[in-house]
Amino acid sequence: MRIIHCADLHLDSKLNAHLDGAKKKERKAELLATFLRMVDYANENEIDAILIAGDLFDTGNLSVTARKAVTDAIVNAPQTLFFYLRGNHDADSFLSSLEELPPNLKLFSKEWITYPITDHVTVSGVELDETNSNLIYDTLVLANEKINIVMLHGQEAGYEQKTRHKAEVIVPKNLRGKGIDYLALGHIHTHRMEQLDARGVYCYSGCLEGRGFDECGEKGFVLLEIDEEKDTVDPVFIPFAKRTLYTVPVDVSGAENTSEAMALVEEQLKTKHYPADSMIKLVLSGRIPVTAELDTALVSSRFEDMYYYVKTTDETKPVVDFESFRHESSLKGEFVRCVMQAEDLSDEMKAEVIRCGIFALSGEEIGV
């Protein structure tokens, strides 16, 4: 038997925080298309069930397109069971829009529900909220002789919260010794798998597509190969995203202008071999002369033909070569000397004031 474990698809995500313009709309469509492609994969590879461990949708405010596409994908794959456990982002609008529940769509509630897939394999789950999240550990009862898959959506206790939205906490160690073979989790957007106890593992599948640069690297789902005779569950991560996001730090220390910075960026990109459909965030760092002009928009434009999307952020620190201004008998020189003597400014503050002042005096735009 083969089962897909996915989570955190966040369909209909507005992507406002991550992208701009037409790309936003395109990526939104791509998120949905990747879900549909995963269902095609299931149809083509004799997958018996798809576990959706929460956050199928990003909000309750669903487009007709997403609602219809997901419904049709489920209805048109009657041989595949869809186990849909709602996460903190999922509202009721999808389920309430269904005229009737497709027989292959299995849902969960605030109390444990166990579904047998075969005589020997079960899928259990419970949807967490603030009232039940502490109570689920004592109420889970599984048959020890079966292969037991359990689904939950929440933040692993002790794991740094990176997502912006509050979710219920899961304490995996409280689920030890319960007869779990595979604990399919959702909420954390990076794939990771850990030993639960002597018998089972717990696993976040991660999201199916990265949306922003806090979701870099390979994204996809977990394919479970279950051998009912040998009593084994073998999970394998399958990268499946249409695009991968990369954050690329580039040290541009010493660059006197945008051209020199771009040369350093180019050098760096040459050593990587990112596919042309990637999304790239260049993070420029290092110390550059206070007089250096650095135009991040130009840097992005320069490389945007090489990739699907490029954005650039400037995290450089300006350094003031005080000596070069000491004897300069110009307004700039006078200004720099004046700032350097200010006693109530930190060195960092002085550098920033000088940088802005010099650009203002040169008639350049001041990027702050």
CA 289 to chain centre: 35
* SS3 of residue 182 by DSSP: strand
Structure tokens that stand for 220 in this block:
């996809």
Stretch that binds Mn ion, among 23-31, 70-78, 81-89, 279-287 (CB under 5 A): 81-89
Could you tell me the two tokens for 335?
Answer: 């200004």
Out of 13, 34, 88, 148, which residue is the one contacting Mn ion (CB under 5 A)? Answer: 88
CB nearer Mn ion, residue 25 or residue 162? 162
- Round to whole Å and give the CA distance between 142 and 197: 15
CB of 55 or CB of 215, closer to Mn ion:
55
Q: CB under 5 A: which stretch of 27-35, 163-171, 227-235, 346-354 binds Mn ion?
A: 163-171
Which member of 87, 200, 289, 318 binds Mn ion (CB under 5 A)?
87
- Judged by CB under 5 A, the stretch of 162-170, 213-221, 283-291, 342-350 that binds Mn ion is 162-170
Closer to Mn ion by Cβ: residue 34 or 88: 88
Tell me, residue by residue from 45 to 74, as one string, x for binding to Mn ion by CB under 5 A and - for no binding.
Answer: ----------x-------------------
Cβ atoms of residues 106 and 74 within 8 Å: no
d(CA 72, CA 66): 10
Q: Quick one: residue 27, left, alpha or beta (phi over 0 = left, psi -120 to 50 = alpha)? A: alpha
| CA 302 to each of CA 295, 298, 314: distance values in angstroms, whole numbers, following the listed order | 11, 6, 15
Q: Which of residues 90-119 bind Mn ion (CB under 5 A)?
A: none
Rounded Cα–Cα distance for residues 125 and 113 (Å): 6
* 9 vs 233, beta carbon nearer Mn ion: 9
Residue 187 in contact with Mn ion, rule: CB under 5 A: yes
Which of 229, 235, 267 minimizes the C-alpha distance to 248? 267
**Using CB atoms within 10 A of its CB, is residue 121 exposed (0-12), middle (13-18) or buried (19+)?**
buried
Stretch of residues binding Mn ion (CB under 5 A), selected from 39-47, 123-131, 179-187, 353-361: 179-187
Residue 4 CB, nearest approach to Mn ion (Å): 18
Q: Which residues bind Mn ion (CB under 5 A)?
A: 55, 87-88, 167, 187
